[in-house]
Amino acid sequence: MSAYPEIADKLMTPKEAVKRYIKNGSQIALGGFTIARNPMAIAYEIIRQGLKDLHLVCHSHGQALDVLIGAGCVKRLEIAYGGNGRYAPTCIRFKKAIQRGEIEFEDYSNYQMSLRFLAGALGIPFIPTKSGLGSDLINLEGFSKKIRKERKVASRKYVVIDNPFNGVEDKVVLLPALTPDVALIHAQYVGEDGTVRIKGLTFTDIEQAKSADIVIVTCEEIVPRSFIRLDPDQNSLPPFFVDAIVRVPYGAHPTACYAFYDYDPKHLNLYKKVAEDEALFKKYLDEWVYGVSSHEEYLEKIGWTALSRIKANPVLGYAPGLDRK
């Protein structure tokens, strides 16, 4: 019998979760933000399973985005920002793919993307904002007319109208809602009842999860029902939103997971170096993604020394004094 009978049908390995819920061409919302809580364990598994033609939708993204693009899994992208903080002000494989014309892309802003997920979560077809008036985000479409006819792609990037409520000229931008096939979220805790708790900043993870057809939550720990229900004010998602629960300690490595571990500057610097070079990048994927068969093997390869170096002080939330150059 399962140790967690209430969620036994949702508990699975990264391998099972990807196999069951992600297909070639899936539209995927990536949780996290640049170098924090990227769903790395699932991203690596997507690459190992050789999935193609993914349509990623995200606000500011970093490592998971970049490695998925670099591995050739991504066909289409709606995005506000591709960067790894100081470790790659512009994500390198993302940059190369756009400069070489290898992926279809369309730019929005962070708030716009967040609002689009919110609209999807609320079940409304579009949502107004003042953000972007006058900018090329509004003036230039990234997708061609042909792409606009495809599944889960909005027929227009934006519509600008006059505020219908005040009777004077007052422009407003309408943004199309997003309803991704799958949202990938990495959380600190999932309760044995399936309740999700994200600690630190939630970014747009909650809206992303609620806007998606399928939600895969990877987590650091599965905690007792009594713990997660003792302080429900801290919780992020009720159990019924979640379709797959995957326990992967250090599952966001090399990005950070507040209160558990910091980002891994050594690994991000290594990645920055290899991402610039085709042969080195291929070797990196061979070694760190294809060359390991599971998340446990990946952790084994990173090694205890590296993991203990980035271990967060649970009170501060990060690893004080970590060499971050």
Partner 1 sequence: MTQYTDNEMKAISAGRFIKDGDIVFAGTGVSILAATAAKRIYAPKAVVFFETGGVDPSLEEIPMAVSDSRVMSGTCLNSGLIDAFSIVGHRKFHTIAFLGAAQIDKYGNLNTTVIGDYHRPKTRFSGSGGACDVSSFASGVITFMQHEKRRFVDKLDYLTSVGWYKGGDSRKRLGLQRGGAFAVVTNLCVMKFDEETKEMYLAEYYPGITIDRIIENTGFTIDISRAVEALPPSAEELRILREEVDPQKLIL
CB of 259 to partner 1, least distance (A): 8
Q: Identify which of residues 89 and 303 has a Cβ nearer to partner 1 in the complex.
A: 89
When the beta carbons of 51 and 153 are compared against partner 1, the nearer one is 153
- CB of residue 167 to partner 1, shortest distance in Å: 14
When the beta carbons of 3 and 315 are compared against partner 1, the nearer one is: 315
Return the number of the residue (46 or 115) whose C-beta is nearest partner 1. Answer: 115
Nearest CA among 159, 160, 177 for reference residue 169? 160
Question: What is the Rg, in whole angstroms, of the alpha carbon atoms belonging to the chain?
Answer: 20
Report the interface residues with partner 1, using CB under 8 A.
32-37, 59-60, 62, 79-87, 89-91, 94-95, 98-99, 101, 107-112, 114-115, 118, 130-137, 139-140, 142, 169-172, 200-207, 256, 258-259, 262-263, 312, 316-318, 320, 324-325
Q: Which of 161, 171, 141 is nearest to 153 (CA)?
A: 141
Closest CA to 141 of 101, 105, 97: 105
Q: Do 205 and 31 form a contact (C-beta atoms < 8 A)?
A: yes
Query: Least distance in Å: CB of 30 to partner 1?
Result: 13
Instruction: In angstroms, give the least distance from the CB of 62 to partner 1.
Output: 8
Nearest distance in Å: CB 97, partner 1 = 9
Burial class of residue 80, CB neighbours in 10 A (0-12, 13-18, 19+): middle
Backbone conformation region of residue 169, classed left if phi is above 0, alpha if psi is from -120 to 50, else beta: beta
The C-alpha atoms of residue 221 and residue 246 are separated, in whole angstroms, by 9
CA distance 19 to 21: 6
Nearer to partner 1, 10 or 83 (CB): 83
